Amino acid sequence: MQRLVFAFFFAVSLSLAPHASANQNDFERCRQVFANGEPPLIKKQDAQQLRALCFSAFAVLHSGQSRTPLYVAERLNRKTLQGAHEKRKDKFFADARLPRAERAELSDYKGSGYDRGHMAPAADMTTPESMAQSFSLANMVPQAPINNRNAWAGIEKSTRKYVMRATSDVYVISGPVFDGAPSTIGTNHVWVPTHLFKLVYDPSANKAWAHWIDNQDAAKVGKPISYTELVKRTGISFLPNFHGS
């Protein structure tokens, strides 16, 4: 059965429009983080539940239903990573741009047994501003702690190593996947992902692949899956103009 990112698709009785971005103008201030300036194409959901957030070094499409990102997009290259020497701040915060009814709070994670797992990693950030912004809970999902600190951290590190070898910009999109009725944490019922993905796209080499991993402490990093397989599993066209596999 095809997995759908945000299994809220199973419960929402909204009419679904043909593929469309949440709003073509939502990411106007940060289209540079998307390949060809084109955000992913998704089946249109309740416009009040999906909110585009621009940060200085990444962009978030946030779901008010799961109270997590749907995806987080970055543009990386050798030059940016060579400047990524900012000291990690660890000052997590609830994002005030989101309505209280649609966002996670620090209290939701406290005592939950889950890490606040970055989708755009702090280690990718090159300025004090972007480092601070990366600790927004809009950039976080509840993540199994050993998974976050070991397997997922390894995926992040291997992605940076690839970017350092690439000849130009590399586009990275990360996000959670929810199968079935998700478990939740906190009084705001933040959804806990069953899986996580990280898509890597190198336009200069016309290559795209994705890491796919269970959100469990015992999960191991496996062989990357193809872009086509990621789209099949999630129902999202992350790279509208990519014609490879």
118 catalytically annotated: yes
Nearest by Cα to 75 from 150, 126, 20: 126
- Residues whose CB falls within 8 Å of the CB of residue 28, separated by 6 or more in sequence, listed in order: none
> Which whole-number Å values give the CA distances from 90 to 102, 116, 138, 174, in the listed order?
23, 10, 15, 20
- Distance separating alpha carbons of residues 154 and 133, to the nearest angstrom: 22
Of the residues 118, 189, 195, 211, which is catalytic?
118
CA quadruple 232, 171, 200, 5: dihedral sign: negative
Contact indicator for 210, 200 with CB cutoff of 8 Å: yes
The token duo for 88 is 């990690």
Neighbours of 113 (CB within 10 A): 10
Instruction: For the sheet with 58-63, list strands across it.
Output: 50-54, 58-63, 68-76, 170-177, 195-202, 207-214, 225-226
> Which whole-number Å values give the CA distances from 59 to 52, 136, 151, 158, 193, in the listed order?
7, 12, 24, 21, 20
Catalytic residues: 118
